[in-house]
Structure 1
């Protein structure tokens, strides 16, 4: 399950990176309904596998797994930034960069299992 979650996460990040760059340079396919449906499907499966791991590994973000709470908060902020970056058929570069930074933070938290990235 963990490997499936990781593959879906990398695919989601790659899709966001490619779509953002294509949107920035004016590609018309970025907001196509088929692409948006694919992205939604990947993110839906990513959510299902993440919640499954949460249950299977007995994780508790409120009592002992602070790194997971940090990742969930970063995910919420990423969702807002990503929507601001590309959600209204207009590209916002600062929101896109903020989204990429939040993705990098979530990756770091996932690897180090520390909200402070092991610092």
Structure 2
């Protein structure tokens, strides 16, 4: 049995179906779960992701321009707080929708790209790295973020090309 996630019919509510040799049947709709909580959580996740990307880009740009952003306490603690909210929302969304990494290829791709982004971002924000290296790490981290967003939008690790 293969779970497939659709977002079309049923009044636009996401639902999961099972494909079997005997045809397809709806397993659940997200109307079974309080719809407001799912969609509110999804918007929280998207908003936290946008804020996370913005904060990373800001800190990376400031570091490349030689501005000591670490002296501003807001830029030291806010990204960690926001990323905790982002992760909690992601885990809850995966649980609510029944889609899990290493079960769904697109979620696996997002998790692996996230790990690459964390590693590259850490190198890009290190003060002791030469500026040229920091720029390369920063570009690599932003490329990972772009891939994560594209995978999230297409629900395909191949970005809909395969």
- The TM-score normalised by the length of structure 2 is 0.69
Kindly tell me: are residues 52 and 87 of structure 1, through their superposed partners in 2, closer, same or farther at Cα, counting changes over 3 Å? farther
Report the RMSD for the aligned CA atoms in angstroms. 1.3
- Aligned residues of 2:59 and 2:75 also touching (Cα < 8 A): no
Based on CA coordinates, which of the two structures has the bigger radius of gyration?
Answer: 2
Q: Which moved more, 1:103-112 or 1:18-27?
A: 18-27
User: Which residue of structure 2 lines up, in the alignment, with residue 96 of structure 1?
Assistant: 138
Alignment partner of 1:115 is 2:157: yes
Gaps of at least 5 residues in structure 1 are none
| SS of the residue 1:87 aligns to | coil
Higher strand share: 2
User: Which residue of structure 1 lines up, in the alignment, with residue 91 of structure 2?
Assistant: 51
For residue 17 of structure 1, report the CA deviation from its aligned partner: 0.8
| SS of the residue 1:116 aligns to | coil
For residues 126 and 89 of structure 2, what CA distance do their matches in structure 1 show?
25
User: Which residue of structure 2 lines up, in the alignment, with residue 18 of structure 1?
Assistant: 58
Count residues with an aligned counterpart: 117
| SS of the residue 2:158 aligns to | coil
User: Which residue of structure 2 lines up, in the alignment, with residue 40 of structure 1?
Assistant: 80
Alignment partner of 1:82 is 2:124: no
For residue 61 of structure 1, report the CA deviation from its aligned partner: 2.4
For residues 7 and 52 of structure 1, what CA distance do their matches in structure 2 show?
15
- Aligned residues of 1:71 and 1:110 also touching (Cα < 8 A): yes
Q: Which of structures 1 and 2 has the larger relative contact order (alpha carbons within 8 angstroms, sep 6+)?
A: 1
For residue 88 of structure 1, report the CA deviation from its aligned partner: 4.5
- The TM-score normalised by the length of structure 1 is 0.92
For residue 26 of structure 1, report the CA deviation from its aligned partner: 1.1
| SS of the residue 2:67 aligns to | coil
